[in-house]
Amino acid sequence: VNSDLEKIDPLSLVGAELSSLTDNISRMLESGNPALSKVAQYYFQSSGKQIRPLVVLLMSQTVNGLVQSEAYKSALLRDYTIIDKSVPQDLVGDSESVIRDNLIRKALSESLNKSLYTPTFSNQGQVILPTQRRLAEITELIHTASLVHDDIIDNSPSRRGLPSTHQVFGNKIAVLAGDFLLARASVSLARLRNPEVVELLATVIMDLVEGEFKQLKNVNGNNQETPKDTQANYPNEDIFSYYLQKTYLKTSSLFAKSIRAASILGGAPTEYVELSYIFGRNLGTAFQLVDDLLDFTATQTQTGKPVGADLDLGIATAPVLYAWQEYPELGELIKRRFSEQGDAQLTWKLVHQSSGIQKTRKLVMEYAERAMAALSLFPPNASRQALLQLAHSLVYRKM
Ligand code: FPP
Ligand code: MG
Ligand code: MG
């Protein structure tokens, strides 16, 4: 699968779109009140990774104008049935059930053997619809709104290499700026005139809040949903699945539902709409797992935000949960949310001594592979290849 992956740079396909996206957003944020505009535009002076609009735009190109030969359609239906049967939950619920590896691999290898799927890498005639372009802007607006609020909640000093919004403008103004970004996104969303897409993105906003709430309860204790017995008896599946569920809500949901919305706006057949969702959900989870990993392995210069922040906030992510398997004494520290002197330092050390980092990376690969498997069921074109490459290289991202 990977041999052809290095060939297409996603930015060669949608780089120009992405730079006009930032300009459009800035213009969109002009309001009657220049002071308000200035705060709302603040995080957009440094464009960030723009990963959400990037995948929305590439998925739009992938689905738009799908040429559907009858042979292709029946092959797709067959493969889709395999996936669908394996995990009906994955398509409907928000639980973190995932496509079973063996089945998706089977579908993948079968499809790659079919001449029908031979990549042509052509993007001829593939356009991005204006509504899909708006959607890409909306995803970045919602994401940025959540970051402005997140930085207040996390008391984080920096973002995108800049002092964070509340550091510069104060908490009250930062809360309002986040609200304004969200409100602006909502107006844009309504203008798409597509109730299904409105519902999807509105649900994303709920998910973001719920994910953040789940994490907060994790930090502050008296959390009924977190299993009480966090003694030295890990592996505790409940705790890991709580973590994955929170990850779905705070990150994967926006990826999954906005990519799904891109397919809906492109008029894609239901099978592709579902596959887009599966792709986005797995990509989003892989992405957040890497984020949690980078909190242990990156430098602030690379990420533009402080490292080691999760431990300081009392949050145990995958590397810690895995390390706990090897160092049972971590159970106590996790339980008290690294609140005592030296807890965070000891945890940091044990995580690096353990295979927690390695195991998290392996988990990232599994999610990335599931994302790629879902993508492989789309007809080949350059945009699909770029998305494949993105999912592939995400595992090793450094920022
Ligand atoms: C970053 O996570 C934050 C999120 C993924 C979501 C935050 C959501 C809210 C604050 C709820 C409010 C939502 C809206 C739409 C206003 P992180 O803190 O783990 O990552 P970081 O290291 O980038 O700060
Ligand atoms: Mg946070
Ligand atoms: Mg944060």
ipTM over 0.90: yes
- Atom of ligand 1 lying closest to residue 153 CA: 10
Q: To test ligand 1's pocket by mutation, which of 148, 212, 313 has the most ligand atoms within 8 angstroms of CB? A: 212
* pLDDT for the residue numbered 260: 98
Which residues are within 8 A (CB) of 293 and not within 5 positions of it... i.e. 6 or more apart? 318, 319, 357, 360, 361, 364
Q: Is residue 208 in contact with ligand 1, taking CB distance under 6 Å?
A: yes
Q: Whose CA is nearest to atom 17 of ligand 1?
A: 150
CA 294 to chain centre: 15
Mean pLDDT by runs of 10 across the 399 residues of the chain is: 60 90 93 93 90 96 71 59 44 36 48 45 67 97 98 94 96 98 97 96 98 77 44 62 94 98 92 93 96 92 84 95 95 93 96 96 94 89 90 83
Which ligand number lies closest to the CA of residue 52?
1
* pLDDT for the residue numbered 87: 38
Q: Whose CA is nearest to atom 10 of ligand 1?
A: 150
Q: 152 pairs with which residues across the strands? A: none
Separation of 151 CA from ligand 3 center, angstroms? 5
Q: Is residue 185 in contact with ligand 1, taking CB distance under 6 Å?
A: no
Separation of 120 CA from ligand 2 center, angstroms? 42
* pLDDT for the residue numbered 292: 96
* pLDDT for the residue numbered 95: 34
* pLDDT for the residue numbered 398: 77
* pLDDT for the residue numbered 75: 59
* pLDDT for the residue numbered 298: 87
Separation of 143 CA from ligand 1 center, angstroms? 8
Q: Is residue 140 in contact with ligand 1, taking CB distance under 6 Å?
A: no
* pLDDT for the residue numbered 380: 81
**Omega cis (within 30) before 235:** yes
- Atom of ligand 1 lying closest to residue 149 CA: 10
Q: Is residue 212 in contact with ligand 1, taking CB distance under 6 Å?
A: yes
Q: Is residue 250 in contact with ligand 1, taking CB distance under 6 Å?
A: yes
Amino acid sitting at position 217: K
Alpha-carbon distance 295 to 215, whole Å?
16
Q: Whose CA is nearest to atom 11 of ligand 1?
A: 209
Q: Is residue 156 in contact with ligand 1, taking CB distance under 6 Å?
A: yes
Separation of 304 CA from ligand 2 center, angstroms? 15
The 3 state secondary structure assigned to the chain is: CCCCHHHCCHHHHHHHHHHHHHHHHHHHCCCCCHHHHHHHHHHHHCCCCCHHHHHHHHHHHHHCCCCCCHHHHHHHHHHHHHHHHHCHHHHHCCCCCCCCHHHHHHHHHHHHHCHHHCCCCCCCCCCCCHHHHHHHHHHHHHHHHHHHHHHHHCCCCEECCEECHHHHHCHHHHHHHHHHHHHHHHHHHHCCCCHHHHHHHHHHHHHHHHHHHHHHHHHHCCCCCCCCCCCCCCCCHHHHHHHHHHHHHHHHHHHHHHHHHHHHHCCCCHHHHHHHHHHHHHHHHHHHHHHHHHHHHCCHHHHCCCCCHHHHCCCCCHHHHHHHHHCCCHHHHHHCCCCCCCHHHHHHHHHHHCCHHHHHHHHHHHHHHHHHHHHCCCCCCHHHHHHHHHHHHHCCCCC
Alpha-carbon distance 388 to 383, whole Å?
9
* pLDDT for the residue numbered 299: 83
Separation of 205 CA from ligand 2 center, angstroms? 15
